[in-house]
Structure 1
Amino acid sequence: MPPKLKDGDAVVAFSGKWIAWVHTVVAYAAFLGALITGLYLHYRKIVENEYYGYPDEWFPSVSSTIGDRYPERSVFQVFIAMTSGPRFALVFLWYILTARPDSKLPKFVAGIGIFRTLTCGGWTYVTSTDDHGWHDIFMISYLVATLPWTLGCIALSPKANPRALKYRKIIAGSFFGTLVPMIYFFIQHKVHKVAGAYTTYAFFEWSLILLDVGFDAVTALDFEGFELVVRDIQGTSRGKDHRVADAILEKEKDKPAGQVFGSGFSWSEAIDAAADVYNGYVFWSMLTSLGLTVWYFPLWHMGISGYEVMVMCTVSPFMLCSASFRSLIIKNVRYVHLLSLAGLLAYLVKTPELRLFSVGFGVSMSCLAWSATWYAERSQSKHLEARTLAWTIGLIASSLSKFAFYSNNPIWPIMHAENGGWNKTGFVLAVLAILISTRRTTDNRGGLEGVGGPQGSAVLAGFGLGGLFFGLHSLLSDSSTMILWVWEGYPVRGPIAANGVLTLLAMAGGVVHAIWLQEKAANWISIFWLAVGAYLLTSYSYWTGYLGAVLTAVELMSLAFPLIASGTRHGPVAFGLGFLIYNILVLAHVWVVAYAFVPGGPLLREHTDWVMTATVFFVTIGIYNVAKPKNSGKSRQRSSKFGPSRFKSYYLYALMGLELLAISISYLRFPTNDYAPYHKDEKVLTAGIWTIHFSLDNDMWSAERRIRDLIKEVEIDVIGLLETDLQRIIMGNRDTTQFLAEDLGMYVDFGPGPNKHTWGAALLSKFPILNSTHHLLPSPVGELAPAIHATLDAYGEHVDVVVFHSGQEEDPEDRRLQSEYLAKLMKESPRPLILMSYLVIKPQEGNYNTYVGEKSGMKDIDPNDWDRWCEYILYKGIKRSGYARVSRSTITDTELQVGKFIVGQPEGNDERISEDQVPKGLRFPAMLKGEGVRGHRYHVFDEPRYYS
């Protein structure tokens, strides 16, 4: 019976918990109703996927259940429509419950709740069958919004109801924990095509649905205190009983979550934090571009050029050892930061030498400014920690931008508008960020807070910083670097480039680890796990090796905080020495592969393990040198005083936003594996070989897009690319194959990884790669010779391809041994085989007769082509149809060679025929005849050659 009217009392009243219960029941009815209907009416159809059906797959995914067929789709849509009312009411009541005058977080969470509701309607009523693109956009948006909604609800959960908070944490942990096995089994299905994997994936997917709805069902416990319409019996929403609320908050204030999220939200402080993070992003963007612009010169000189000395521009912090100069820099650090932006404007300089000098000056000023800032705020723990947070999260932002742009940073000086650069936008944002973030820099001349002054050695502190700088740059400045360390070819048995989000999540985990554990992050347990991670990464492949990568990422990121704090206590000399040690390690990790071209190179030949050991050792002695508290009492006092506090929440929000963006990018970049060759009706396989000279063109611009355009125009189905390993500091930690494979729609095998000490070989194929093996050919004296031996599924037949780069001209014995090794490998293949290679021989002479003839069983695609020296295409057991040589323009120093083959036909003879005798589907594109396009044309013969 409704209450009587009295002074505006409600006519009808019911408990707010029923809003939550109605939402829960109707939402579950939508999904389970569609599932039951689908299983009853279309069981075999909804369990079928693109690879398998019943009985291999026996349980349907969520998407196939709710979106593919009538009437289950209608059942789902009707109940979801009924859910919308309770859903909006739930979001509104949650806002009423949590709103406080001094906090903007409830408004943010409420906005996220409304956004999730609208995007849920989007992917519900626009199915993948209707419009796959928009369905994915709505779905990704919904999933991205789930993280801030979940964390926001946990942060705002009323402390007076600990049972609800407990359930939320359990359900949220289960939700995010379920994502890991779900993604694993999706990869097993999509990449490995494992029968039954999609069924297992489906169970985890359904678990996510149940947990997602269950998380919101917990609000029933909170809404028991509401009576609609609308009377707050317990006064929870208005904080009526301040004594209870204040008592609870007093108990919670020293807990990390309470310290970070317990205060109000300020847009001005959030903007300050965003500016700091962007400054960190700019620092890492410029630092990672320095080696890349230096590399251009030894690349074209084929040895030491002299310009390598520019790597030493990072030691500028040594200048801060002068007290007067240090004071001048600290007082004017804003202008030093602004001067450093010369590194971002370097893209306007067309001359490579001057562009390098501009980048070097910018990096020098940036290292100087950041070191001065850290030192200036050495006595203000919170300020110093904020700067370090910005610097480490800036590294994540830099790595994320490369993840989004296929391993190129869009504000690098090798980028411009024509090849995908965002240089102007990056510069404008950098100026604004500097003007905002440098408002708070002060010259603190007081004592050292909390530890009673400097302890330990400045030299050891510098060693620790050097190991830290190098470890972060060499391993974490690109999300795919460590993935390629553990890559060993097909079938896929470890992470792929699109899994770079896992590296980014591990880096974020290291930052959170440091924030929450404070001094506990700098102990021997951390060093132990760092050493274990480095060992696994260096010694193992596949997921075992990548586990080492994750451990390494977490520990390096978390140790940045104590090592930088230790450096500030020993004066600027620690930072100058740190960057000097960093430079030495940079050169060492180039020497391990460039030993044939540098003085003293053989001492470090193929010793990445030494470089990794040195990195861990330097970090270890740096942690050993970290200042310790005078006594345990002061340690407890300092831990309480400088534990997680409100200012950190803004950096965590920034970190959260970056990781959500990373998850979205990973979803969009996941390979579709549905590629098709250019001329499948004629069963043509067009193969090419191209030495792309590390994807830097003659004018120091990134060349990926130009390479892509020519490969597409020549209609190449399978191509071997040489000089492709860019995963070193001096080459920018890049991976050209990511962009080419995803844009062209090709499977990719990166070849021997960065820890295999070669200049790189890669294979891209429109045909599925069934198996691939990486080889390092005999090289007792000179550079290592990499090879990829792969088996392709070409039109239902198995065809082998080999991509190979032999040693240099100066080492004839190496090249002889390599020719014998490869000839034996090709001879033993029982399948048709195509060699795409860089052989360094003259036709009909010397080792040519090992590669071609009885020893190998191989034939030259055109034995009458006398003008070759390096690139060769050989074949056996397959019909050769055509051969062409295409000029490089200004992309690289080597032409593109292309051969056409017809799968399923015998080799044929050596008779040449005219183009008019060749079916159109077997001809090379006409656009490259004559003058060609953009400097690319058929040359040497001035036209392709065709064979009967």
Structure 2
Amino acid sequence: MAPRFKDGDAVVAINGKWVSWTHTIVAYTAFFSALIVGVALHYHKIVQNEHYGYPDEWFPSVSATIGDRYPERAFFQVFIAITSGPRFLLVFLWYVLTARPNSTLPKLVAGVGIFRTLTCGGWTYVTSTDDHDWHDIFMISYLVATLPWTLGCLALSPNNRRAVKYRKIAASLFFGTLVPLIYYFIQHKVHKVPGAYTRYAFFEWSLILFDVGFDAITVLDFEGFELVVRDVKGISRGQLKTTADSVLEKEKGKPVGNTFGEGFFWTEILDAAADVYNGFVFWTIVTGLPVLVWYFPLWHMGISGYEVAIVACVSPLLFAIPSLRSAATKNLRLLHLTSLVALLAYKFEDPANRLFITAFALSSTCAAWVASFFAERGNTPRLEARIMGWGVGLIMSVVAKFACTTNNPLWPIMHGNNGGWNKIGLLFAILAVLRSQRGALASGSDYLPAGSKKGSSLLAGIGFGGLLFAIVSLLTDSSTMISWVWEGYPIRGPIAVPHGAVTIFVMGAGLVYGVFHPAVAGSWTAYGIGSVGAALLTYYHHWTGYYGALAFAFYIMAVTPVIITSGVRHSPASTFGIGFILYVFLLLFHVWVVAYAFVPGGPLVREHTDWVMITTMLSIGAGVFSAATSNSGRTRAKPISPNSKRQRSYYIYVLAALQLLSVSVAYLRFPTNDYKPHHPEEKIVTAGIWTVHFGLDNDMWAAERRMRDVIGELELDVIGFLESDNQRIIMGNKDITQYIAEDLGYYADFGPGPNKHTWGSALLSKFPIVNSTHHLLPSPVGELAPAIHATLDMYGEMVDIVVFHSGQEEDPEDRRLQSQYLAKLMGSSPRPLILLSYLVTKPLEGNYNTYVSELSGMNDIDNTDWERWCEYVLYKKIHRTGYARISRDTITDTEIQVGKFVVGEPEPENEMRVPEEMVPVGRRFPALFRGDGVRGHRYHVFDEPRYWQ
């Protein structure tokens, strides 16, 4: 019979702190018992990694200790299973401790705590050896959930000064440790620095200490609990103030302090998410149309007439007609729905039809968003919400491109077979419009607060145009500014992954800062900092240039709310209409600096990206001046209402989710750098050259996946891409090398960046790139000729690769000077060398005899191939064994030329052609491309490869 007890008595009373102590002790035991056993039994094996072993590496990582070998793995799994009980109880007690009436945050934090516990079990019992993908998914989910768990616990901490102090210290140590952790991981993975993994391991173990230690601090809070279950201090009944309560009292009246203190409503966060998705669709259309426009001059090799579609964005000029302006502000839902036809454009096969439909959608979406801003000009909270939806939508589009290796999955050049998410994207877009545009509409009347000055509508419009161009040209892809500061190997600055996530974080931080502190964001001091950042980005490389890029990104996003808020105080036709006209001018300007050879007046702006940047910053300065005039006459701002504070918080929640997603993507896409050539046993190098026409195929579809398939099937170890630089508005600000390099496993050198004014050259290699130098060859008249001179570690021997694109046919003097420069460059190399090139010459004629000469020391891979004009493969001091030409199908307008070489064998004095039967199987070209080939790719010109011995 159960014992009887009076109210308040307990049969067994266990102080709550022992839950924390049990959790802490057992969790530490799980990790450190595995470490002790692993060091004792398998020390040399668990310190070994893919690059080095003992003594270069002498301390094991957490993953190697707990997941690779028996019995240490068993020790860890047994004790971590025991830890789960106290862990679930800890989360439960924390919820009981912090729960308050009408508060949703404790429930959310408790849910995150349970999720972390479950995902911990996932990566514990599904090791990387068992299933690498699922192990990573569980691990990433655990790490991502750590941020809201930590911040939630800090916000809900009872007002215990010791506990709060220790939590702040533990949280700071945990997140601070991530910086050197990532640094040494990059040193190990990318730079292959001996001992870097050991240093990484120390920081990884520190994360374990700080993570468990953070939860151990609950021992100070649970002292007031006894189990079974009596609340001896009344703290679970909301009688004691939490840290969050105290902070809110202190910060009352301050914008940041009040933002998260209000209630949480799912309906309102859905409204914010819908607004953000509408913003995402806007940026999808704005960035997608130029890619379609680019297709036509690309294939016409000059101005085609279709370029006029760019001016579709100036539709806000029509708002100069009052009746149209009124109709637009009263029919915003219809305007937004009309713009969604852009997401259906992929259904039209004909490129011209796709262009026209997207141009119509662009005019609709520009008009819709300008009308939305103007309609809310008299309602500051709603206007701020529209601006945040627009800004966070931009970040969502950048995250989407980051996740999809720089292609927006809803662009009209995408479809289901090449990575498009068009159908699901359209469905969400319709739901988002119906949700976000369902409320009562503002009148859009000429509201102006009493005693306020408007400033100049012309300057406000110029400011918006400069702002829009700065965003579209540099901030619509996380890798664009990184490509500006990239200078080749060894890596001395940021790389697209993982540092693209840093760019995204800074953009989000800038937007939030601009919303909370518009006076500072709109100041001349902030403008000066932004201008310095722009200058550093334009004139410097490596980390210095990237730090400037981050300052520029932060400023541009911060000043966005200021300039838009100033712009809506005028007629939308005279601000946004003018702004879009300036945007079109700057768009053409920034293309003209590269395409000067194909446009009238082009030489006047040749290679003047600095002029473009100066014009952009001066335009933004005009907008800042107008905003400053407007602000100078404003009365003291009214206190922010509770509803406005809560509204802000929802957009920040959406932004935080996007930031966590970008971090997860960076982790998943982090380069493994464990690439292997296709035939190491033969020491074969298969090298190819391909002019890829910017990765847009003959039917105006993104071609990266088709390119990947043929490159993989050809078993290319090294390939040079020409006409590969897409980091401009007109090309979608994307990088075709990222998807192919990551999917097939290549080191990638982007080549001279977009601020070097070339059409681009790139190098992908299965072999480590020891060093690479970018060259701009003499081009006094025509377009700049880019070249990459790289040294690769091929089976332990240093071999040079040169990827080169000569000038165009119309400029013979340029091509002559370039041939002399390149011949001297190749002749100066003492190492074996392979040239993968686009020479614009006939075999055995003209400049060919400079490239293949005593000065260069180079040989033609097959001087009997008379049908060449553009692409050539040359070599020296390395044994060639095969040569083939493969048709491109409809991917581009140029074939693939491929050569096979053997490393470590000297050039034979008397080579002779032999039939394929005499060639070892490992040295042969794939039989897949014989006859009719596959998917339109086949051996052509000779109908079969050629071989030599």
* Pairwise TM-score range, normalised by the shorter structure: over 0.9
Give 1:920's aligned residue.
921
2:589 equivalent to 1:588: yes
| TM-score (normalised: structure 1) | 0.96
The change in CA–CA distance for 1:263 and 1:838 in structure 2 (over 3 A counts) is: same
CA contact (8 A) 1:256 1:643 kept: no
Letter in 2 for 1:297: F
Q: CA deviation at 1:589?
A: 0.8
Residue type of the alignment partner of 2:854? E
Distance 2:623 2:104 in 1: 41
Amino acid at match of 2:143: L
What corresponds to 1:869 in structure 2? 869
TM-score, with structure 2 as normaliser: 0.96
The secondary structure found in structure 1 opposite 2:600 is: coil
- Cα distance change of structure 1 residues 14 and 349 upon mapping to structure 2, 3 Å threshold: same
Deviations 1:765-784 (A, max 9, x none): 11111111111100111100
Aligned counterpart, 1:383:
382
The C-alpha deviation readout for 1:352-377, integer Å capped at 9, x for no partner, is 11111111110110000000000110
User: Aligned residue for 2:576?
Assistant: 575
Within a 5 Å distance, the mapping from 1:766-781 to structure 2 comes to: 766-781=766-781
Which residue does 2:296 correspond to in 1?
A: 297
Contact 1:454 1:570 in 2 (8 A): no
The corresponding residue for 1:232 is: 231
Partner of 1:196: 195
Task: Name the structure 1 match of 2:612.
Answer: 611
Corresponding residue SS for 2:900: strand
2:623 alignment counterpart: 622
Cross-structure match for 1:497: 496
Question: Which moves more between the two structures, 770-779 or 123-132?
Answer: 123-132
Shift of 1:5: 2.7
| 1:103-144 residue CA offsets vs partner (Å, 9 max, x unmatched) | 322222211111101111222223323333322221111111
1:206 corresponds to which letter in structure 2?
W
CA drift of 1:221 comes to 3.0
CA distance in 1, matches of 2:769, 2:156: 50
Looking at structure 2, the residues matched to 204 and 6 of structure 1 have their Cα atoms a distance apart, in angstroms, of 52
Instruction: Give 1:584's aligned amino acid.
Output: F
Letter in 1 for 2:93: L
Which residue does 2:735 correspond to in 1? Answer: 735
In structure 2, C-alpha distance between the alignment counterparts of 1:449 and 1:156, rounded to whole Å? 42
CA distance in 1, matches of 2:103, 2:514: 26
1:68 aligns with 2:68: yes
C-alpha distance 820-891 of structure 1, shift in aligned 2 (>3 A): same
Moved more, 692-701 or 670-679: 670-679
**Are the aligned partners of 2:929 and 2:937 in contact in 1 as well (CA < 8 Å)?**
yes
Counterpart check, 1:324 vs 2:343: no
Q: Secondary structure at the match of 1:638?
A: coil
Counterpart code for 1:151? L
Shift of 1:785: 0.3
**Amino acid of the structure 2 residue aligned with 1:702:** A
Query: Matches of residues 659-738 of structure 1 in structure 2 within 5 Å?
Result: 659-738=659-738
- Distance in 2 separating the partners of 1:777 and 1:374: 48
Q: Measure, in 2, the Cα distance between the counterparts of 1:274 and 1:181.
A: 34
Distance (whole Å) between structure 2 residues aligned to residue 622 and residue 333 of structure 1: 26
Per the TM alignment, residue 266 of structure 1 is displaced from its structure 2 partner at its CA by 1.0
Which 5+ residue runs of structure 2 have no aligned equivalent?
none
Check if 1:558 corresponds to 2:558. yes
Alignment-derived partner of residue 369 in structure 1: 368
Q: Which residue of 2 aligns with 1:516?
A: 516
Change beyond 3 A, Cα 1:15–1:690: same
* Contact 1:277–1:390 (8 Å) recurs in 2: yes
Indicate the residue corresponding to 1:484 in structure 2: 483
CA deviation after TM superposition for structure 1 residue 480, in Å: 0.7
Distance (whole Å) between structure 2 residues aligned to residue 660 and residue 468 of structure 1 = 26
Cα distance per residue 1:666-721 (max 9 Å; x no partner): 11111111111222222111111110101111110111111111111222111111
Alpha-carbon distance in structure 1 between the residues aligned to 2:287 and 2:268: 29
Aligned to 1:280: 279
CA RMSD of aligned residues (A): 2.2
The 10-residue stretch of structure 1 (320-329 or 97-106) with the greater mean CA deviation from structure 2: 97-106
Structure-2 change in CA distance of 1:630 and 1:611 (3 Å): closer
CA distance in 1, matches of 2:844, 2:643: 74
Cα distance in 2 for partners of 1:338, 1:90 equals 49
Once the two structures are overlaid, the 10-residue window that deviates more, 32-41 or 591-600, is: 32-41
**2:937 counterpart of 1:929:** no
SS at match of 1:829: coil
- The amino acid across from 1:185 in the alignment is Y
Aligned residue type for 2:23: H
Structure 1 residue 66, shift from structure 2 partner: 2.5
Tell me whether 881-890 or 257-266 shows the greater mean CA deviation: 257-266
Instruction: Give, in whole Å, the separation in 2 of the partners of 1:115 and 1:288.
Output: 37
| Corresponding position of 2:6 | 6
Q: Distance in 2 between matches of 1:223 and 1:254?
A: 33
Cα pair 1:447 1:453 within 8 Å, conserved: no
Shift of 1:518: 3.7
- Tell me the SS of whatever aligns to 1:440: coil
State the partner residue of 2:465.
466
Indicate how the Cα distance of structure 1 residues 779 and 51 shifts in structure 2: closer, same or farther if over 3 A, else same: same
Distance, in Å, in 1 between the alignment partners of 2:388 and 2:177 is 29
Letter in 1 for 2:772: S
Secondary structure at the aligned position of 1:770 is classed as strand
Matches within 5 A, 1:44-193: 44-158=44-158, 160-193=159-192
CA separation in 1, counterparts of 2:86 and 2:451?
A: 59
Q: Distance in 1 between matches of 2:916 and 2:30?
A: 63
Structure 1: distance between partners of 2:351 and 2:130: 50
Cα distance in 1 for residues equivalent to 2:736 and 2:245:
57
Report Cα offsets for 1:444-470 as digits up to 9, x if no partner.
456757674442101111111111111
| Structure 2 letter corresponding to 1:429 | F
Partner amino acid for 1:813? E
Q: Which amino acid aligns with 2:791?
A: T
Q: How does 1:16-55 map to 2 (within 5 A)?
A: 16-55=16-55
Q: In the TM superposition, what whole-angstrom CA distance separates every residue of 1:807-837 from its partner, at most 9, and x where no partner exists? A: 0001111000000000001111111111110
Shifted more, 563-572 versus 118-127: the winner is 118-127
Q: CA deviation at 1:644?
A: 6.9
- CA separation of 1:614/1:246 partners in 2, compared to 1, >3 Å: closer, same or farther? closer
The letter for the 1-side match of 2:880 is: R
Query: CA distance change for structure 1 residues 847 and 511 in 2, over 3 Å: closer, same or farther?
Result: same
Which letter does structure 2 place at the counterpart of 1:574?
Answer: T
Secondary structure in 2 matching 1:834: strand
Rounded to whole Å, the distance in 1 between the matches of 2:495 and 2:732 is 19
Partners of 2:119 and 2:139 within 8 A in 1: yes
Alignment length (residue pairs): 944
- Measured after TM superposition, the shift of residue 886 of structure 1 is 1.1
> 1:633–1:16: structure 2 CA closer, same or farther, 3 Å change rule?
farther
- Cα deviation per residue 1:163-202 (whole Å; 9 max; x = unaligned)? 4344433432332222122111110111001122222222
CA displacement 1:376-432 (0-9 Å, x = unmatched)? 101111111111111111111111111111111111000011111111111111000
SS at match of 2:23: helix
Specify the alignment match of 2:836 in structure 1: 836
Instruction: Give, in angstroms, the shift of residue 24 of structure 1.
Output: 2.3
CA–CA distance in 2 between the matches of 1:273 and 1:458? 30
Q: Offset at 1:845? A: 0.8
Q: Secondary structure at the match of 2:599?
A: coil
Structure 2: distance between partners of 1:756 and 1:912: 42
User: Which AA in structure 1 matches 2:740?
Assistant: L
Amino acid at match of 1:853: S
TM-superposed CA distance for 1:76, in Å, is 2.7
| Aligned-pair CA distance for 1:865 | 0.9
Preserved CA contact (<8 Å) 1:46 1:65: yes
Q: 2:101 and 2:627 mapped to 1: Cα distance?
A: 43
**C-alpha distance in structure 2 between counterparts of 1:885 and 1:751, whole Å:** 24
One-letter amino acid of the counterpart of residue 780, structure 2 = P
Q: 1:445 to 1:478 in 2, by over 3 A?
A: closer
Distance 1:191 1:629 in 2: 50
Quick one: which amino acid aligns to residue 559 of structure 1? V
Q: Secondary structure at the match of 1:835?
A: strand
CA distance in 2 between counterparts of 1:242 and 1:588 reads: 59
Taking only the aligned residue pairs, the percentage that are identical comes to 66
Query: Structure 2: how far apart are the matches of 1:247 and 1:169?
Result: 16
